[in-house]
Amino acid sequence: MTTDETTHDTARSADRRENRPRPVSAGADEPVEVRLTVNGTPAVLQLPPRHTLADALRDHLGLTGTHLGCEHGVCGMCTVMVDGEAARACLLFACQLDGSDVVTVEGLGRPDDLHPLQESFGHHHALQCGFCTPGFLMSSYDLLSHKPGIAEEEIPEELSGVICRCTGYRNIVSAVAETSREHPEGVPAPGNCAHRALVGRAGGQAAGLPGGAEGVSDTQRSDAASQDVEIVLPDSEPTVSVEVTTDLDVPFEKVWRVLDDVHLLATCLPGAELTEDLGNEHYTGRARVAVGPIKLSFTGIAHITEHDRESGRIRVLAQGEDTGGAQTQADLTLVAESTETGTRLQADAAVYLTGRIAQFGRALAGDISRRMFEQFADSVKQAATSGQAPTTPAGAPSALRLVAGTLANRIRRALRRFGLGKGNSRRGGTPTDGFR
């Protein structure tokens, strides 16, 4: 970087600091309010002044893509963008950055729409263990933003502030050089910066807009709602497609009364909790799922795009993310139809999964999803009959019950294929009713 460029950048940084509120005195463990914009989401945090930006991002906002290595500013693993400049998150106190705009590796691109740097890293296999990859991606973004068209032979020195212990750097340099050639005027801006819910890890603090943090004003919540956060589903095939039809011996009017009350309807979803009504049919909420050793807690946004009594139809788009990086998006349609004996409730869902939750096989994920919708139908019936929130779906759906029920269904189907279903035991023993 030239002397002029350094002087110019220093002046810009000084101007930004000058415009920030003056810090106030506080004890080492006395929480102070810090307001940041992180990946496009305004966030308000209450945390001790000794907490670093890395602590705030990982523990309080759940953005664990920022990795910690040496915690001395040497390895470069924790590199993020602060007000348009690369910075070490382990060397900055969060309270220093009140009013700053921060972009982490999560803000670069989405799984279905990667940033050109991410695509190039994948194409060149510029990673092995992946621990240093977020730091290299953010440092590379900073480099190509400030020095578009940089010569390939200059890249190793420019990226020497990030250490990799696996690859030997050659593929990393090739990936950055290719991106530079394809974007000679400068790389595109980060593509995943938008309003979303942010939530801390266990023991951390939830924060973010819409509706995520204590201290967020009504005006800010209103601003977030007025922007009508757009939920864009991937163009690819869904991970899971579910169609469940249930006949309820309850009149249509009573069933629709449940479907018409969003707060009551949310209590019928296993493990779900509605946390705030943002207006304009937008809501924030949480959903918990526990299957075996995998325990997930999603925080996200739902948007009701259709709500028509005449057709008995509701359509909901939803997206959420857990603190471990698992993401889910869903397109859910509920249709209630009056029948001679009561109401037929049909649920159609297209679900997109990434991260840990995608480790389930498609068949198992589909079976578990169907079981959850069956529980949902039972809860709707209970709420429609009593006019009150159902009592059964407290907490996360039972992993044991979901998996046991799923496996029992599979075993029944397998036994029927071999002619061992109910009443067809070849050895004359006990029929397979016990699997019910």
- 3-state helix/strand/coil string of 233-300: CCCCCCCEEEEEEEEECCCHHHHHHHHCCHHHHHHCCCCEEEEEEEECCEEEEEEEEEECCEEEEEEE
Among the residue ranges 5-14, 162-171, 212-221, the one predicted with the least confidence is 212-221
Residue given tokens 């110019």 in the structure block: 8
Instruction: Compute how many other C-beta atoms are within 10 angstroms of the C-beta atom of residue 324.
Output: 15
d(CA 384, CA 372): 18
Enumerate the CATH 3.10.20.30 domain ranges in the chain, comma separated. 28-182
For residue 199, the model assigns a pLDDT of 54
Q: How many CA atoms lie within 13 A of 372 on its CB side?
A: 22
Query: Start-end ranges of CATH 3.30.530.20 in the chain?
Result: 240-386
This model's pTM is above 0.85: no
CATH code for the structural domain at 240-386: 3.30.530.20
Q: CA dihedral in degrees (303, 345, 321, 126; nearest 10)? A: -110
**357 vs 141 pLDDT, higher one:** 141
Structure tokens at 25: 């005195």
- If you ran DSSP here, which 8-state letter would residue 188 be given? P
pLDDT mean across residues, the chain: 77
194 confidence band (pLDDT: 50, 70, 90): confident
* Structure confidence at residue 426 (pLDDT): 40
Is the N-terminal amide bond of 116 cis, ω within 30° of 0?
no
Burial-class residue 19 by CB neighbours within 10 Å (0-12, 13-18, 19+).
exposed
pLDDT digits (tens, 9 = 90+) for 36-77: 999 988 888 888 888 999 999 988 887 889 999 999 999 999
Which residue's structure tokens are 């060397």?
91
Q: How far apart are CA 298 and CA 266, in angstroms?
A: 14
- Which of the given ranges, 192-206, 255-269, 275-289, has the highest pLDDT on average? 255-269
Which residues are CB-contacts of 392 (< 8 A; sequence separation ≥ 6)?
375, 378, 379, 382
Q: What one-character DSSP code corresponds to residue 93?
A: B
Q: Are strands 343-354 and 240-248 parallel, antiparallel or unpaired?
A: antiparallel
Cα separation, 383 vs 406, in Å, equals 25
Q: Cβ distance 107 to 192 under 8 Å?
A: yes
CA–chain centroid gap for 62, Å, is 10
- Exposure string of 361-372, with b = 16+ CB inside 10 Å and e = fewer, is eeebbbbbbbbb
The two tokens of residue 146 are 């400030």
Check: CB of residue 49 under 8 Å from CB of residue 25.
Answer: no
In the three-class reduction of DSSP (H, G, I as helix; E, B as strand; rest coil), residue 253 is classed as helix
Q: Which residues pair with 345 in a beta bridge?
A: 246, 336
CA 181 from centroid of its chain's CA atoms: 32
User: 205 falls in which pLDDT band (50, 70, 90)?
Assistant: very low
Stretch 164-192: mean pLDDT, rounded?
92
Q: What is the per-residue pLDDT across 286-325, written as a single tens digit (0 to 9) for each? A: 877 665 555 667 788 889 999 999 999 999 998 887 655 5
Answer whether 317's CB lies under 8 Å from 302's CB: yes
Strand, helix or coil for residue 369: helix
With beta carbons less than 8 A apart as the criterion, state whether 162 and 139 touch: yes
Distance CA 367, CA 346 (A): 16
- CATH number for region 28-182: 3.10.20.30
pLDDT at res. 185: 92
- The percent of the chain in helix, strand and coil, each rounded to the nearest 5, is 35, 25, 40
Give percent above pLDDT 70 in the chain: 69
In this predicted structure, the answer to whether residue 406 has a pLDDT above a threshold of 50 is no
Range name among 376-380, 385-389, 423-427 with the lowest pLDDT average: 423-427
- Give the whole-angstrom CA distance, residue 93 versus residue 243: 50
Q: What's the rounded Cα separation, in Å, for the pair 352 and 343?
A: 29
pLDDT tens for each residue of 131-176: 999 999 999 999 999 999 999 999 999 999 999 988 779 999 999 9
HSE-CB for 355 with a 13 A CA cutoff: 20
Residue 419: pLDDT band by 50, 70, 90 thresholds? Answer: low
Model pLDDT, residue 19: 55
